[in-house]
Amino acid sequence: MQRSSLWKAGLAALAFAASAAVASAQTAQDDGEKEIERYRAMISDPMANPGFLAVDRGEALWSQKRGTKNASLETCDLGEGAGKLEGAYAKLPRFFADADKVMDIEQRLLWCMDKIQGLDTADVIRRRFSGPGRASDMEDLVAFIANKSSNMKIEPQLSHPKEKEMAALGEAVFHMRAGQYDYSCSSCHGESGKRIRLQGLPDLSRPGKPPQEAMGSWPTYRVSQSALRTMQHRMWDCFRQQRLAEPAYASEVVTALHAYLNKQAAGGELVVPSIKR
């Protein structure tokens, strides 16, 4: 056989091997995702989801009297009226006239703790995310409040000029490239078909099912972290992975991203707390 023929045969063999390897890897990824989904289905019952322990703790905190005013949060207005929780989370972030700003759930809770309870929130913020031997009032409260909107539709609030401005700011941040890797949110979530390890990455740049499913599943119990996590934590972790400066807790940039993503997820169903790997 001539050398050129051998060369062509070798190239064909290499191409076939590469194609087979890619197909095998794709099959392994698909099988992995199926097993993950099967595991989630097995523990989707509230009695098997540890996230509901956070819901119970949050309910106790909601009615607990604290702060210099010895008051509970039961008169806190989350947008639907003082103390009304049903459907409130599904419409956050939103504009609050008494604070003259658009707030997400964490911002509003901190505001109510200060104004209604007279509570020094420094310790609450210090424990913003739970860890070994460290509980988080905010994670528990968010789990409790969000659960009151479970099985309801996400309804982004965009009627007030400041709500529109906040969603527009969130869109700009979503596409802003920065940090050591020159990444943006859209680097991972700007098109379909992307993965990180076995995990599929939803395309959040277009309205529809992917953002609906993503935003409708937070807060969630993270099995790998043995903790209930909120969207605030998800944003913080994304900034960390982009090697960006940590956003201040309950900051405007996180609220803006939340407002934009909820706009993309409009009409999606909240099923929370969910459970993830």
Nearest Cα to 153, choosing from 17, 274, 265?
Answer: 265
How far CA 168 is from CA of 40, 177, 185, 251, in Å, comes to 34, 16, 15, 16
Q: Using an 8 Å Cβ cutoff, are 170 and 258 in contact?
A: yes
Q: How is residue 123 written in tokens?
A: 């310790």
How far CA 9 is from CA of 1, 3, 14, 15, 17, in Å, comes to 10, 10, 9, 10, 12
CA distance 161 to 172: 17
Nearest Cα to 275, choosing from 143, 152, 153, 145?
Answer: 143
Q: How is residue 218 written in tokens?
A: 């937070």
* Residue 238 annotated as catalytic: yes
CA distance 154 to 89: 8
Q: How is residue 223 written in tokens?
A: 């099995």
CA distance 15 to 193: 23
Active-site entry in 76, 112, 188, 238: 238
Active-site positions read: 238
